[in-house]
Amino acid sequence: MQTEGKKESGSEIGFWRGWSIAVGCAIGSGIFMMPTLLAPYGMLGLAGWLVAGVGTLLVVLSLSRLARRIPKIGGPYAYVQAGLGDFAAFLVAWTYWIACISAASGIAIAFVGYLGVFLPVITDSSVLSLLVSMALIWIVVGLNIRSVEGSGTFQVVTTILKILPLLFMIVLGFANMEPEVLPPLNPTELHPIALLATVTTLVMWSFVGLETATVPADNMAEPDKMIPRVLMASVFTVLIIYFLVSLAIALVVPAEELIGSTAPFAVAATKIMGPVGGAVITIGALISTLGSLNANTLTAGQVPLAAAKDHLLPVKFLTLSQSGTPIFSFLVSGGFMTLLLCLNYTKGLVAAFTFMAMLSTLSTLMAYAFSAVAEFYFLKRDRASPERNRAIVLSSAAFLYSFFAIWGAGTEIVFYSFMLIMIGIPFYALVREDSRD
């Protein structure tokens, strides 16, 4: 085994693989439940896609500028380390690692839930559900350990396959639309601003993951140019698909039916095409969650590697396989995913998925906020110019959006996130002492 250094085979992730990592990680289990979660909020609920999309665009613009400055492995972690120092970088690496691990665990649960449509015996037994979820996690971990090449090819294929049923749903929905079933603008008692804050945080789970294209920079050809292109293409791809597919379903299924549904896509497809349509969409959901699980697992293995290179995690995380993949990092990440599955399966499928999705979203938003602040450090050293002024405005907007979305997550999830940060701080102190010896 190797312990340090980059693979001699060179960069293996080009534009389409980078795009597939970002889009594949973002388009996962979240979109297949969002019509149900947004239904109580009326047409303003759909506006949450636009607010979150604009906010995500601000974030990726900031990340794109940082990628040009620091084309290093680690993504947000690498940018924060360069701009704010080791402690802030450790917090980002720690929370972002938690985000990837919790997201992968939640997605594995979602996959099992969709699989239960065809094999009800799995979801009828909590033990069998847990075993299938763990088996899925370790199959994907094994794929990523084997090679970046194999993981990248798998990601491109699953990303294309997962987009097809979404496009299919868009075409079906608009071809069979019934505008009279659209909900009122605001059926709730919430102020429109408060409602937008709620739905923006709610749908942010479906956008989280776009930043993963910045992480495997060491495996990319010309990352300073490639990463910005990938990020911009990915955010527009995801925003357009999300908004259109949500509107298409709202034009077919009345809000009162969506509110009580655990599979809104299947409900819409069944209304139009019968049971065959529901089965097709379920297969699409399985492919979607599988691709998202792979992308999150890839990132979960790369982030600790980047932190270990800067002596913020034990040097054992630098261990690479013969094919150049961070084998120890993947094994530890897979172990934590398994632990999370075991700890949360007592809550039931839906509750466990919701908790891990919210925890992952909040942890990622913290990485966004830290990255925007890190850019301030670089901008203050740049020569005054109109471009610098625009960057300051956009970075400020990205930070405020991240803060806004964190606030909307609610006190319970913020509390759990804070406790996880506190747990990580002693590890930082111990590793720093080791690195000085």
What is the per-residue pLDDT across 289-348, written as a single tens digit (0 to 9) for each? 887 788 788 888 887 887 788 787 888 888 988 878 899 999 999 998 998 888 766 666
Return the CATH number of 15-436, one of 3.40.30.10, 1.10.3720.10, 1.20.1070.10, 1.20.1740.10.
1.20.1740.10
Query: How far apart, in Å, are the Cα atoms of 403 and each of 16, 57, 364, 365, 399?
Result: 31, 15, 12, 8, 6
Position 256 confidence tier, pLDDT thresholds 50, 70, 90: confident
pLDDT digits (tens, 9 = 90+) for 26-53: 776 678 778 888 888 888 888 888 888 8
pTM for the whole structure: 0.74
Query: What are the structural domain ranges in the chain?
Result: 15-436
Supply the mean pLDDT for the chain. 81
Task: Give burial (CB, 10 Å; 0-12/13-18/19+) of 264.
Answer: buried
Position 150 confidence tier, pLDDT thresholds 50, 70, 90: low
Longest dimension (CA), the chain: 71
- Is the Cβ–Cβ distance between 17 and 156 less than 8 Å? yes
Query: How far apart, in Å, are the Cα atoms of 44 and each of 238, 255, 390?
Result: 19, 13, 30
Report the distance separating Cα 8 and Cα 281, nearest Å.
42
Share of the chain above pLDDT 90, in %: 12
Nearest 5°: the CA angle 387, 211, 366 is 90
Whether pLDDT at 4 is above 60: no
Whether pLDDT at 254 is above 80: yes
The pLDDT value recorded for residue 136 is 94
The pLDDT value recorded for residue 6 is 42
**Tokens linked to 258:** 């969506």
pLDDT digits (tens, 9 = 90+) for 354-370: 677 778 888 888 888 99
Alpha-carbon torsion (123, 356, 325, 27), positive or negative: positive
pLDDT digits (tens, 9 = 90+) for 203-231: 887 887 777 666 666 666 677 677 778 88
Report the distance separating Cα 113 and Cα 94, nearest Å.
29
Whether pLDDT at 252 is above 50: yes
- Is the Cβ–Cβ distance between 301 and 324 less than 8 Å? no
